[in-house]
A and B are shown apart, each in its own frame.
Chain A
């Protein structure tokens, strides 16, 4: 039975069983490979997307649980104010190394600053500790989030 989901503002019909995780629908069915597979068990955050603006692990989110909610992926996060700020800060601070986890890191960080424009270190820990980076870019991720939120402050 075909299901319809809304990805980055576009309705997409997909013919998969309802219990298939969103991650595989994005990557293998729709060909949107920016969202990454890391663990399949919500342990690493590489697969993070936004569902109605909330950072969500797509690897354990079944496709039939989403309904009409709006899915946003790394491919479109730059169109949001928070996403664009975070991407810019990531480049300014030279965060990435291998880069594989960074889609998920950016999605978590964008959700954080969209809901909390002035996060404390503890807020950053809470929002980002579900995202593993094996290259260990944490120092720069923290700096980049702070940079992005400083410009929030300056811009009002």
Chain B
């Protein structure tokens, strides 16, 4: 399959031919395509698999499968590729049911259009995130493929005047075995388009044992262009005549430009223009080298505004105070107070996780050409329609005058679910005659990110005389991204993301009480970050479960297993990870094993980390064993790759990740002060996938949240020191 050049408009031709005549299956329709051939349009339902797609407003397709006369299969879909393998896994679903090779499916990128491509699992926003692309696509994409196959078989049977049951689909053809007749899909597509859509009950999906593609490793379709330098990311866009701009934004969030002396900057060879905004200054030049020199030559005086003195400590204090009061109840099972009062042992702790930057390898950038009558932008975005809307608003143009060219994304992790960069670039481009590519320096990227929120947690538990937890009480405070990003999903002070990993634990706990207090600290913007909820909550809950095991003087794995009688899938991954890791086998001095278990993104995962703590406090993660039950592993090689990578992402957060404020300014700036795990620190990783025919779970984020407590629990095993605040403080480990 070739990755078609990403397009901005016109990926889908006139949809009117099948807008009428609703089939009984309201999330799938088929008919003649305007350009010829067979067109199937479908609506991707909620990730949970319920059929809310067919709502009162009727059929609203958001993905399209076109089989034109040349026999290719063209898929137009709303998800973007950020490295997570979506461009490979979703075409596999269609190719499986259509009985074609994966190479026969050609992918075209969806243009920005929330009505058409909104992701129902993300409240109708056209977004790729929350590890749900494969979950949302699993059922409808296969059904669409099977429906198309059924119609093509019927078309052939009609042509040959034979029983459809005597025909079969294979390799892009329909074959009538008794007579040896065969016809290609391309040849049959026009006939198939005239056949009524078959009733759902007459379309048989393949059984798992019949899968030829699903569950087998498939080569990534985007890989070849990424090893020879031809892959085009947003930062590589070069519309003719493009200038390059870089910028300095107010170092304090909410500050303003007081004065600018740009004489020296204008004298730099290649500098064309200085653009002054209320809260930022940009230098426009022939190339980034000149733009950076110009920026350094600017003398900018800032009015720091209301957050001039803000420091991290003040924010932590605000969060800590918030947790002294009761908050909205996210989960309440049984009677925690009564159980606590009857407990033989009580354990309590405070946990904290820091602000984190995304630090995607592709720095923030957006290329914009503002004209009087329209605006074009070139960007890599996880939220195409929002990018278009942000550009329209900043440019003061109607939505339909904004053309968005989406690109490959050099790392998303949640950063490109935000459109602040688009807005900023358009603000600058409005002052520039011709196209301009606005590129953030790494320092600007780190210091003007939207950060994973800081969370402050109080957690306590009661154990019975045998050490079993009989009460679990957890209260935490921090920012809700959903409240800003998707307000309808924030209800009664709660949202499904921020509490994910803190509630619905796999363990059978009889009495639990979980409260969340939304606190939005002023002076620092927050955003999604390879999830938000699990990246915070799993660290807290799995560290605390380890504390309970220690308080009960039980083995951490055995202690957890004893709580999993009603969670067989969770129990199975934990047992598998323990077995493969050699849990219980002796280790050298200063080396420990730590375990974690989680159920998030509809995926069960256990990890065991083997960690060495040097006498100087240095932590080295030597080996990680992960067992995962993600339901059907559509592309198992991608599942492995996502877990391997997510583990590195999580170790980075454990060891190094911290954004702090002093005098309102982010103290970190580049990879020397915001460190990322490197090759010489990378552990060996083993991934063991539990075979399953359940629907697929999400894989993009799960590996990150699971590794963090596995590492800190391993440090406890190696040193006896319990770390309750991230990142790991090596000073604290020096004495160990």
Enumerate chain A interface residues (CB-CB to B < 8 A): 16-17, 19-21, 23-25, 27-29, 31-41, 43-44, 46, 73-75, 78, 87, 90-91, 94-103, 106, 124-126, 128-142
A17–B227 contact, CB under 8 A?
no
B355 to chain A: closest CB distance in Å? 17
Can you spell out 23 A-B residue pairs with CB atoms less than 8 angstroms apart? A16-B290, A28-B286, A28-B287, A31-B238, A33-B238, A38-B671, A40-B441, A87-B228, A91-B223, A91-B227, A94-B220, A96-B83, A98-B409, A98-B412, A99-B226, A101-B410, A125-B680, A133-B645, A134-B413, A135-B361, A135-B649, A138-B677, A140-B641
A61 to chain B: closest CB distance in Å? 11
Q: Give the distance in Å from the alpha carbon of A129 to the alpha carbon of B231 in the complex.
A: 24
The size class of the interface chain B forms with chain A is: 35 or more
A134–B226 contact, CB under 8 A?
no
Q: Give the distance in Å from the alpha carbon of A95 to the alpha carbon of B222 in the complex.
A: 11
In the A-B complex, the 10 residue pairs with the closest CB atoms: A34-B229, A136-B648, A100-B410, A99-B226, A97-B83, A98-B83, A28-B287, A74-B229, A136-B645, A24-B289
Centre residue among A19, A36, A94 by max chain B CB count within 10 A: A94
B442–A27 contact, CB under 8 A?
no
Q: Give the distance in Å from the alpha carbon of A90 to the alpha carbon of B231 in the complex.
A: 15
Q: Which residues of B contact A32 (CB under 8 A)?
A: 229
Given the known interface contacts A33-B238, A136-B646, the answer about A96 and B682 at a Cβ–Cβ threshold of 8 Å is no
B231–A94 contact, CB under 8 A?
no
B227–A135 contact, CB under 8 A?
no
B680–A99 contact, CB under 8 A?
no
Q: Which residues of A contact B420 (CB under 8 A)?
A: none
Q: State which of B228, B289, B363, B641 has its C-beta within 8 Å of the C-beta of A137.
A: B641
Q: Which residues of B contact A40 (CB under 8 A)?
A: 292, 441-442, 670
B243 to chain A: closest CB distance in Å? 9
B220–A142 contact, CB under 8 A?
no
Q: Closest residue to A74 on the B side, CB-wise?
A: B229
B501 to chain A: closest CB distance in Å? 20
Q: Is B236 an interface residue (CB 8 A)?
A: yes
A17–B269 contact, CB under 8 A?
yes
Centre residue among B219, B292, B641, B684 by max chain A CB count within 10 A: B641
Q: State which of B232, B235, B286, B676 has its C-beta within 8 Å of the C-beta of A132.
A: B676
Q: Give the distance in Å from the alpha carbon of A40 to the alpha carbon of B217 in the complex.
A: 37
A78–B84 contact, CB under 8 A?
no
Q: Which residues of A contact B84 (CB under 8 A)?
A: 97
B89 to chain A: closest CB distance in Å? 13
Please report whether the interface of chain A is mostly helix, strand, loop or mixed according to DSSP. loop
Q: Which residues of A contact B647 (CB under 8 A)?
A: 136
Q: Which residues of B contact A43 (CB under 8 A)?
A: 442, 670-672
Q: Give the distance in Å from the alpha carbon of A135 to the alpha carbon of B645 in the complex.
A: 5
Q: Which residues of B contact A102 (CB under 8 A)?
A: 226-227
Q: Is B359 an interface residue (CB 8 A)?
A: yes
B228 to chain A: closest CB distance in Å? 6
Q: Give the distance in Å from the alpha carbon of A74 to the alpha carbon of B677 in the complex.
A: 24
A24–B288 contact, CB under 8 A?
yes
Q: Give the distance in Å from the alpha carbon of A116 to the alpha carbon of B441 in the complex.
A: 35
Q: Give the distance in Å from the alpha carbon of A146 to the alpha carbon of B195 in the complex.
A: 55
B361–A106 contact, CB under 8 A?
no
B222–A134 contact, CB under 8 A?
no
Given the known interface contacts A28-B244, A125-B679, A134-B411, the answer about A36 and B361 at a Cβ–Cβ threshold of 8 Å is yes
Q: Is B303 an interface residue (CB 8 A)?
A: no
Q: State which of A74, A100, A131, A138 has its C-beta within 8 Å of the C-beta of B233.
A: A100
Q: Closest residue to A31 on the B side, CB-wise?
A: B238
Considering the complex, which residues of chain B in the window 82-100 have a beta carbon less than 8 Å from any beta carbon of chain A?
82-85
Q: Which residues of B contact A125 (CB under 8 A)?
A: 679-680
Q: State which of A16, A41, A46, A135 has its C-beta within 8 Å of the C-beta of B270.
A: A16
A73–B641 contact, CB under 8 A?
no
Q: State which of A29, A35, A100 has its C-beta within 8 Å of the C-beta of B362.
A: A100
A99–B236 contact, CB under 8 A?
no
Q: State which of A96, A126, A139 has its C-beta within 8 Å of the C-beta of B220.
A: A96
Q: Is B230 an interface residue (CB 8 A)?
A: yes
Q: Give the distance in Å from the alpha carbon of A152 to the alpha carbon of B76 in the complex.
A: 42
B644–A96 contact, CB under 8 A?
no
Q: Give the distance in Å from the alpha carbon of A27 to the alpha carbon of B232 in the complex.
A: 12
Q: Closest residue to B676 on the A side, CB-wise?
A: A132
Q: Which residues of A contact B361 (CB under 8 A)?
A: 36, 38, 44, 46, 98, 100-101, 132-135
B8 to chain A: closest CB distance in Å? 19
Q: Is B224 an interface residue (CB 8 A)?
A: yes
Q: Which residues of B contact A25 (CB under 8 A)?
A: 287, 289
Q: Which residues of A contact B217 (CB under 8 A)?
A: 94
Q: Which residues of A contact B412 (CB under 8 A)?
A: 98
Q: Closest residue to B362 on the A side, CB-wise?
A: A100
A99–B222 contact, CB under 8 A?
yes
Given pairs A98-B360, A100-B360, A133-B645, 19 additional interface contacts (CB within 8 A): A23-B288, A28-B286, A40-B441, A43-B671, A44-B361, A75-B230, A78-B228, A91-B224, A98-B362, A98-B411, A99-B83, A99-B225, A129-B681, A131-B679, A133-B361, A138-B648, A138-B677, A138-B682, A141-B679
B438 to chain A: closest CB distance in Å? 13
A100 to chain B: closest CB distance in Å? 3
A20–B289 contact, CB under 8 A?
yes
B674 to chain A: closest CB distance in Å? 10
Considering the complex, which residues of chain B in the window 643-678 have a beta carbon less than 8 Å from any beta carbon of chain A?
644-649, 652, 670-672, 676-678
Q: Give the distance in Å from the alpha carbon of A91 to the alpha carbon of B223 in the complex.
A: 7
Given the known interface contacts A37-B235, A91-B227, A96-B220, the answer about A29 and B287 at a Cβ–Cβ threshold of 8 Å is yes
Centre residue among B84, B647, B649, B679 by max chain A CB count within 10 A: B679
A16–B670 contact, CB under 8 A?
no
B359–A134 contact, CB under 8 A?
yes
B270–A17 contact, CB under 8 A?
yes
Q: Give the distance in Å from the alpha carbon of A38 to the alpha carbon of B442 in the complex.
A: 7
Centre residue among A27, A39, A87, A141 by max chain B CB count within 10 A: A39
Q: State which of B222, B288, B442, B644 has its C-beta within 8 Å of the C-beta of A136.
A: B644
Q: Give the distance in Å from the alpha carbon of A33 to the alpha carbon of B229 in the complex.
A: 7
Considering the complex, which residues of chain B in the window 397-416 have a beta carbon less than 8 Å from any beta carbon of chain A?
408-413
Q: Which residues of A contact B409 (CB under 8 A)?
A: 98
Q: Is B470 an interface residue (CB 8 A)?
A: no
A35 to chain B: closest CB distance in Å? 7
B324-345, CB under 8 A of A: which get 1 and which 0?
Answer: 0000000000000000000000
